[in-house]
Amino acid sequence: MSDRDLLIGGERVAGAGDPLAVENPFTTETIATVASASPEQLDAAVAAAREAFEAWSRTPALERAEMLHEVARRLRENGEELARTMTSEGGKPLVENRDEIEWCAACFDYYAEVGRDSAGRVIPPIESTQLAMVVKDPLGVVGCIVPWNYPLLLLTWKVAPALAAGCSVVAKPSEVTPLSTLELAGCFSHLPAGVVSIVAGAGETGAALSADERVDCIAFTGSVATGRKVALACAERLARANLEMGGKDPFIVCSDVAAAHDSGIEIAARGGAWAAFLNAGQVCTSAERFYVMKDVYDDYVSAFVAHTESLVLGDPFDEATDIGPMVSAPQRQKVVDQVEAAVAAGAEVLAGGGDGGPDRGHFFAPTVVTGAPAETDLLREETFGPVAPIVPVADLDEAIALANGTRFGLGANVYTRDLKNAIHCMRELRAGTVWINDPLTDNDAGPFGGFKQSGIGRELGREGLEAFQETKHVHMETEIEQKDWWYPYGPAGGESNR
Ligand code: NAD
């Protein structure tokens, strides 16, 4: 058995499909070759999930809860190793990957308890002799397809609630970062065979999983373009699709921040830089557009640039590193192209804009841009890199109009101490999460997902559990009696009922 084996029906098996080369984005060396699942192996994984669903969906919720807590315990026990593997294959700083493991464990603990807390609700019946209930049933087999930027967290946001709901899963990591997910198999070995299967593979494997009639729901995180394909495949066979896709999150800074606090602007700049550059900007909720009120704009830009220039690029294993390499050369090139196009259209680069120092790795220095025209991709399309374009605005209404002006609606950030501004933003921003004065903080109990093309459905919170439940209305009459609205309507058969 190897750490690179797939997990199918409770067995670790060597992949029999195409090889996937995994690159370390810091050294740019190939660190592993993983054999993906062959079509027959994917078929076996789905068949195992189908079979396992029967018993798992009937397992008492308390027993499922104990098994999910055990997943959390094993995650913490193996956390350092898993975090190091994520660092090698993804380039995210080790400190951030350690956080990611803890968030995964906490999420399994959360759904262990939420899953045994309620199975529906009792509703007022039509008559006093009746009992009426809304019962939440497990949905079935869930296919989980995830990207490379938070390989284990985004998988956990699907697998933990799906298992808690009584579903079985087939998980497919990104072809860019399969190693940590395959290593995760040990955290599931106490579960009945087939409840969790893990298949490595690229787009074809994801497409085959999405098209499989035996899969009741695809829970997907990734780009809008791929999400659309998944949605179409699911629509074709009328299966559920829960889609978490791209974003172009705005970050609004109100002038009252300066008045409220001596260092208010400095803090809003540091918060903005973290929101823009975390994981080299490769976060679906990265702050990608800054709208700053005119009277604090100059101070904000200066503070932002000064802080950006102090950030340390380097080896993601090095504890002094703030920002590691981007995940791959193509991902980096996309960012270079967007910045160059903005500069060609008149934008100015105030910090960063190049490799940033290290002599190897897919580095792009944290970059601050001003003067980008509103119609450039840098202000309209997802960048997914460490770039912060800053735009002055006259007032909050202009900021909100610009913030709402893209096809995305994942998250939005606001810095203000003014209650009226905060409430106005909360009401008007068309985004799945609105963060006020604390960018990008997730909460297992708070649903996460997007408006508009950023998503359909929600993860986390109770909504994240309901995504993997089917709803059944049970209407129960305790008397066996003729109802007076039945036939006959007329007097022909005797007394009219009406
Ligand atoms: P991607 O869309 O290229 O790939 C995502 C996953 O889909 C991968 O596992 C891939 O193998 C698979 N896939 C590819 N083609 C497929 C097909 N035809 N059918 C089914 N599956 C297929 O995305 P990526 O480059 O890995 O990740 C970056 C994207 O993910 C960004 O757009 C980012 O915004 C988004 N993202 C969104 C969230 C969120 O929660 N909304 C979180 C993180 C990342």
Q: Is the N-terminal amide bond of 366 cis, ω within 30° of 0?
A: no
pLDDT tens per residue across span 7-24 = 999 999 999 999 999 999
- Alpha carbon of 173 to ligand 1 centroid (Å): 10
User: Which phi and psi angles does 30 have, rounded to 5°?
Assistant: -75, 120
Convert 184-204 to b/e letters by CB count within 10 Å (16 or more is b): bbbbbeebebbbbbbbbbbee
pTM over 0.85: yes
> 280 Cβ partners below 8 Å, 6+ apart?
91, 92, 323, 324, 325, 326, 327, 364, 385, 386
| Dihedral-angle region of residue 437 (phi above 0 means left; psi in -120 to 50 means alpha; beta otherwise) | left
First to last CA, the chain: 73
**Within 372-448, where are the H helices?**
396-403, 419-428
What is the position in ligand 1's atom list of the atom closest to the CA of 150?
A: 43
> 188 Cβ partners below 8 Å, 6+ apart?
7, 71, 195, 196
Rounded Cα distance, 279 and 286, in Å: 9
Q: How crowded is residue 347: how many other Cβ atoms within 10 Å of its Cβ?
A: 20
- Alpha carbon of 250 to ligand 1 centroid (Å): 21
pLDDT band at 493, cuts 50/70/90? low
SS3 readout for 314-335: CCCCCCCCCECCCCCHHHHHHH
pLDDT tens per residue across span 100-118 = 999 999 999 999 999 999 9
Q: Label the pairing between strands 240-244 and 455-456.
A: antiparallel
Rounded Cα distance, 263 and 266, in Å: 5
In percent, how much of the chain has pLDDT > 90? Answer: 95
Out of 144, 148, 221, 286, give the residue to mutate to test ligand 1, the one with the largest number of ligand atoms within 8 Å of its CB: 221
pLDDT tens per residue across span 40-54 = 999 999 999 999 999
> 444 Cβ partners below 8 Å, 6+ apart?
106, 107, 110, 111, 460, 461
- The distance from CA 313 to its chain's CA centroid, rounded to whole angstroms, is 25
Whats the size of the chain, residue-wise? 498
Q: How crowded is residue 121: how many other Cβ atoms within 10 Å of its Cβ?
A: 10
- Tell me the average pLDDT across 449-466: 98
Is 284 designated active site? yes
The angle at the Cα of 197, spanning 196 to 200, to the nearest 5 degrees, equals: 140
Q: Which domains does the chain have, with CATH numbers?
A: 6-245+468-475 (3.40.605.10), 249-436 (3.40.309.10)
- The distance from CA 485 to its chain's CA centroid, rounded to whole angstroms, is 50
CB contact at 8 A, 218 and 242:
yes
- Alpha carbon of 326 to ligand 1 centroid (Å): 16
CB contact at 8 A, 235 and 213:
no
Q: Using CA positions, which residue lies closest to atom 35 of ligand 1?
A: 222
Catalytic residue, chosen from 23, 96, 175, 244, is: 244
Q: Using CA positions, which residue lies closest to atom 9 of ligand 1?
A: 174
Out of 150, 210, 223, give the residue to mutate to test ligand 1, the one with the largest number of ligand atoms within 8 Å of its CB: 223
The residue type of 14 is A
Task: DSSP for 108-169, please give it.
Answer: HHHHHHHTTT-SEEEE--SSTTEEEEEEEEE--EEEEE--SSSHHHHHHHHHHHHHHHT-EE
- Closest to 253 in 3D by CA, of 49, 134, 395: 395
Residues with CB under 6 A from ligand 1: 145-149, 154, 172, 174-175, 202-203, 206-207, 210, 221-223, 226, 229-230, 244-247, 284, 382, 384, 410, 450, 455
Is 89 designated active site? no
- Tell me the average pLDDT across 166-192: 98
Rounded Cα distance, 365 and 311, in Å: 9
- Tell me the average pLDDT across 452-462: 98
What pLDDT does 167 receive?
98
Q: Name the CA radius of gyration of the chain, rounded.
A: 25
pLDDT tens per residue across span 386-438 = 999 999 999 999 999 999 999 999 999 999 999 999 999 999 999 999 999 99
